[in-house]
């Protein structure tokens, strides 16, 4: 992954030479969902005029020219190279292959990410279309909108068709994404968008309504229908207005670390046309502008380490409900590597522990007027997987506690002025694969 992309001035978080986060409190970005009709022409022409390779090159160029920050593409199969030939986004997912090998899901972004995964649907249906021909599914990526500001982005292409088998598979697909969000996006802001192949007017499409009941907002419903589910006709292509319904949707939620709000929604077909005015794809691209702002109660550091482990943890969900969290005891365990980290708060009931049960423990009890303010993490590689090998904590009085084995690949972290470290987030299993820190005001 590349992390050298300049970010917009409105969204910058800068690390100064001491490792302190100098935070801009808010920013803006936009997203686009676009099914690019990339099936081979002999399989499906998609009723799109023109040569598919030329159309793909036009799509790639327009994604850049229209200044899309994060575009999720579906059906990006056999014309993928043509899209990337003309596209200039600095961060782009590698193709998983054309038909029948790839999922057709790719992302081009102005922002880097720290994790990227492809997940295949557990159920598919060929009842009315050949949805089992390719390993369709969804992708997950944790995008760094700015250093220390993360949101989890999901791209999906659900099963098509209206036969009972199609409806069953599609509802299973969307529920599978919801389950993944509950496991891997705890405490995080989330944006999930793509080709849902679902309509609110179709009674068998129940799973998208379930997303609304699972804490996610539909940007279209929010923008035009006050979050109530309407009965709207299907859109033409390009859509005449934003009040009709398409199967491509954008859902999102904020989190305790990041306030997130969809500010505008638009079917963006008019900006994605061939030079002669014809459409480039049989789907209306869906465009949403977002604003974000950092929480005034909790912030997070950048993440250190790799993306292994058996699960994601985020103490922010609990910390958000504690009025004035403060560390009372720090306990780190390690040997050759960092096995676990633990922090006990002064409320007497809250303890966060992440990692395994190995290693030798080191403990530090903090005084009433003493705060955990700085940390150092060192990384290394074990069994081809990057993880954290060492941690050291430094308090406001200069006392320290450490565990694990230091390497030559280390980073220092410091709470912003007037803040303290009160929790963790990251990924772990028997050891601490990935780790970041959560800050709260003193």
Contact 283, 248 (CB under 8 A): yes
| Count, residues in the chain | 442
How far is it between the farthest Cα atoms of the chain? 72
Residue 46 has a pLDDT of 74
- Written as six digits, the tokens of 137 are 């599914």
Distance, in Å, from the CA atom of 300 to the CA atom of 297, rounded to the nearest integer, reads 11
Residue 15 has a pLDDT of 41
Beta-strand runs (E) in 321-415: 327-334, 338-345, 351-355, 360-365, 372-382, 385-395, 400-404, 410-414
Residue 42 has a pLDDT of 73
CB burial string 112-143: b at 16+ within 10 A, e below: bbbbbeebebebbbebebbbbebbbbbbbbbb
Distance, in Å, from the CA atom of 323 to the CA atom of 194, rounded to the nearest integer, reads 38
Instruction: Write the pLDDT tens digit of every residue in 127-180.
Output: 988 899 999 999 999 999 988 899 999 999 999 999 999 999 999 999 999 999
Dihedral sign, CA of 16, 20, 25, 30? Answer: positive
Strands 26-35 and 70-74: parallel
Beta-strand runs (E) in 243-337: 248-253, 258-267, 286-294, 299-300, 304-305, 311-314, 327-334
Strands 327-334 and 360-365: antiparallel
- Written as six digits, the tokens of 174 are 């969307």
- Written as six digits, the tokens of 405 are 């084995």
Residue with tokens 């530090």: 364
Contact 300, 189 (CB under 8 A): no
Residue 47 has a pLDDT of 84
Distance, in Å, from the CA atom of 118 to the CA atom of 135, rounded to the nearest integer, reads 10
Contact 196, 208 (CB under 8 A): yes
Residue 45 has a pLDDT of 61
pTM given for the model:
0.93
Task: Give the three-class secondary structure for 97.
Answer: coil
> Is the peptide bond prior to 186 cis by the omega test (within 30 degrees of 0)?
no
Residue 293 has a pLDDT of 96
Non-local (6+) Cβ contacts of 212 within 8 A are: 218, 221, 227, 229
Among 99, 95, 170, which residue's Cα sits nearest to residue 139? 95
Contact 131, 160 (CB under 8 A): yes
- Written as six digits, the tokens of 158 are 């659900």
Residue 4 has a pLDDT of 29
Instruction: Write the pLDDT tens digit of every residue in 335-388.
Output: 999 999 999 999 999 999 999 999 999 999 999 999 999 999 999 999 889 999
Residue 148 has a pLDDT of 87
Region for residue 45 given its phi and psi (left: phi exceeds 0; alpha: psi -120 to 50; beta: otherwise): alpha
Give the DSSP letter string of 170-234: HHHHHHHHHHHHHHH-TTS-EEEEEE----TTSTT--HHHHHHTTT-EEHHHHHHSTT-----PB
Task: With a cut of 50, list the residues of the chain below it in pLDDT.
Answer: 1-22
């Amino acid at each position: 992954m590349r992390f050298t992309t300049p970010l917009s001035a409105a969204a910058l978080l800068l690390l100064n030479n001491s490792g302190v986060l100098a935070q801009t409190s808010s920013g803006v970005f936009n997203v686009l969902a676009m099914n690019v009709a990339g099936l081979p022409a002999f399989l499906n022409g998609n009723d799109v005029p023109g040569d598919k390779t030329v159309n793909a090159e036009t799509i790639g160029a327009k994604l850049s020219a229209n200044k899309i920050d994060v575009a999720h593409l579906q059906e990006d199969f056999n014309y993928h190279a043509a899209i990337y030939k003309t596209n200039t986004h600095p961060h782009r997912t590698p193709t998983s292959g054309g038909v029948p090998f790839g999922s057709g899901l790719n992302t081009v972004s102005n922002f880097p990410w720290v994790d990227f995964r492809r997940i295949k649907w557990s159920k598919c249906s060929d009842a009315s279309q050949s949805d089992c021909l390719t390993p369709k599914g969804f992708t997950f990526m944790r995008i760094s909108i700015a250093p220390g500001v993360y949101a989890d982005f999901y791209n999906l292409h659900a099963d098509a068709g209206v036969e009972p088998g199609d409806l069953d598979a599609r509802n299973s697909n969307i529920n599978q994404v919801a389950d993944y969000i509950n496991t891997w996006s705890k405490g995080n802001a989330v944006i999930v968008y793509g080709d849902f192949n679902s309509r609110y007017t179709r009674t068998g499409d129940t799973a998208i309504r379930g997303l609304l009941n699972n804490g996610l907002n539909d940007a279209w419903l929010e923008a035009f229908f006050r979050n109530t589910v309407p009965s709207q006709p299907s859109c033409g292509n390009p859509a005449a207005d934003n009040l009709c319904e398409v199967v491509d949707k954008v859902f999102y939620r904020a989190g305790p670390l990041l306030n997130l709000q969809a500010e505008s929604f638009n079917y963006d077909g008019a900006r994605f046309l061939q030079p002669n005015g014809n459409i480039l794809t049989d789907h209306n691209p869906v465009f949403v502008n977002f604003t974000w702002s950092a929480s005034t109660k909790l912030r997070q550091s950048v993440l250190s380490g790799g993306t292994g482990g058996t699960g994601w943890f985020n103490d922010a969900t609990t910390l958000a409900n504690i009025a004035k969290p403060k560390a009372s005891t720090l306990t780190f365990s390690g040997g050759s590597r960092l096995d676990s980290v633990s922090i006990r708060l002064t409320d007497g009931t809250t303890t966060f522990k992440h990692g395994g049960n190995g290693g030798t423990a080191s403990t530090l009890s903090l005084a009433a007027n003493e705060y955990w303010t700085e940390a150092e993490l060192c990384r290394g590689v074990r069994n081809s997987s990057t993880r954290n090998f060492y941690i050291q904590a430094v308090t406001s009085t200069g006392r320290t506690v450490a565990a694990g084995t230091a390497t030559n690949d280390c980073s220092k972290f410091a709470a912003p002025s007037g803040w303290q470290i009160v929790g963790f987030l990251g990924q772990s299993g028997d050891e601490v694969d990935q780790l970041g820190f959560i800050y709260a005001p003193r």
